[in-house]
Amino acid sequence: MARLLDGAGKLGWVLLKSVLRFAFMFLNNCVAIPSYCLYLLLLQPLRIWDRTTFWHIEGIMFKWLLAMVSSWGWVAGYTVTEWGDDVRPISEEEAMVIVNHQSTGDVCTLMMCLQDKGTVVQRMMWLMDHVFKYTNFGLVSLIHGDFFIRQGKAHRDKQLVYLKDHLDKYYHSRDRKWIVLFPEGGFLRKRRETSQLFAKKNSLPHLTHVTLPRLGATHIILKTLSAQQENGSVGSDTGTLNQTANKRKGLQWVIDVTIAYPKARPMDIQTWIFGYRPPTVTHVHYRMYPIKEVPVEAEALTDWLYQRFVEKEELLAHFYKTESFPPLEGQKEAASRQMILDPLWLCIIQSFAFASGYMWYSVLQYLYCCLF
């Protein structure tokens, strides 16, 4: 009986905590997202007069919004440990980031672990499934200039055309530096069986912890944002006419990011919202490739991209056996880094969001009373 009461008490606490967290996040969204939109509406004259400054300010507020999402997980004890290459020194250089995709929590994990990487978050473009357009954060991503891609053969060719047009229109004009995509094109649990059947049919590696990546978006990004060299690779010394005019070097790096969850149990967005899972450390492994090493011709790029995901498979298999990633070449022991968010900074951002929400509510209420 005592054990039953103890279990009921724990369940009651989890439910109460989940309700309180949901209520806070609902209010957080209600004040932060409208405030972001209204500030940008107020700054529209600046957009006409000085676009660079406008998008710089927008990027700062965008980073703050992502920091708020990060704080939801941070408060619940969901933290990140980083492995592999240190990407902070290249935070001001242009890069394409390819990430394995297991669940909706992957996006939240990236929002958190990139917070301490200089101006990366505020100058970053996301490629994500079009379903995210209809979430609470969809409007923010639309304003920021992220790209929502529809999956499936029926949409594939058109989506790649739309992606190229989107990059031409927004990537340079809004001074973006990093572009993040999930080449697998869907969650691991949904694509694994199909990927394995395709691999068996085409004599490709059998993968369990990742799926075979799709080439389309990666190919378009490399062709659009980098200059092709005679050897079929993309180079960093020259750019397109548009890039040269803006004194940009184009893509300099491809950053291969591998996300691993303890016991292969992915974190989803529901967990971040309700916080019912015990404190969990998500592990993120980085590996950097100079853009000159990346082929741009379709067949060679396909082989290169497949090899990256074979390496991801090996990394994840090693992690699930040992709870650590293997050391880099030349290292005897793998070194990890605990990613830390500043609680004071998070409190300041949240306070600013709620203060802004109250201010805009008061302004709109005053205008309503004056007009009606």
State pLDDT tens for residues 110-125.
999 999 999 999 999 9
What's the pLDDT score for residue 239?
39
**Residue 100: inside a domain:** yes
**Residue 48: inside a domain:** yes
Q: Residue range 114-141: average pLDDT?
A: 88
Percent pLDDT > 70 in the chain is 92
**Residue 356: inside a domain:** yes
**Residue 4: inside a domain:** no
Report d(CA 265, CA 105) in Å as an integer: 11
Tokens for 127, please give them: 């490629």
pLDDT digits (tens, 9 = 90+) for 58-92: 999 999 999 999 999 999 999 999 999 999 999 99
Q: Could you please report the per-residue DSSP string of 103-170? A: STHHHHHHHHHTTTSTTTGGGEEEEEEGGGGGSTTHHHHHHHT-EEE--SHHHHHHHHHHHHHHIIII
What's the pLDDT score for residue 244?
40
pLDDT band at 235 (very low <50, low <70, confident <90, very high): low
Tokens for 255, please give them: 């950053």
Rounded to 10 degrees, the C-alpha dihedral 131/136/138/143 comes to 180
What's the pLDDT score for residue 238?
37
Beta strands 95-99 and 178-181 are: parallel
pTM of the model: 0.89
Q: For residue 108, which amino acid is it?
A: C
**Cβ neighbours for 1, distance < 8 A, ≥ 6 positions apart:** none
What's the pLDDT score for residue 38?
96
Report d(CA 159, CA 151) in Å as an integer: 8
What's the pLDDT score for residue 133?
82
pLDDT digits (tens, 9 = 90+) for 246-276: 456 789 999 999 999 999 999 988 888 898 8
pLDDT band at 228 (very low <50, low <70, confident <90, very high): very low
pLDDT band at 232 (very low <50, low <70, confident <90, very high): very low
Which residue from 240, 357, 229, 286 is spatially nearest to 97, judged by alpha carbons? 286
User: Which residue range is the domain that position 69 belongs to?
Assistant: 15-371
**Residue 69: inside a domain:** yes
* Higher local confidence (pLDDT), 130 or 205: 205
Q: Name the E strands within 203-348.
A: 227-228, 234-235, 253-260, 280-290, 336-339
Q: At what angle do helices 105-113 and 51-75 cross, to 10 degrees?
A: 110
Which residue from 196, 213, 204, 191 is spatially nearest to 312, judged by alpha carbons? 213
Report d(CA 222, CA 56) in Å as an integer: 25
Report d(CA 354, CA 34) in Å as an integer: 11
DSSP 8-class letter at 291: G
- In 3-state terms the chain splits into helix, strand, coil percentages (rounded to 5) of 55, 15, 30
**Domain count of the fold of the chain:** 1
**Residue 10: inside a domain:** no
User: Which region among 98-102, 232-236, 278-282 has the lowest average model confidence (pLDDT)?
Assistant: 232-236
**Residue 52: inside a domain:** yes
Q: Please, are residues 261 and 97 in contact by the beta-carbon 8 Å criterion?
A: no
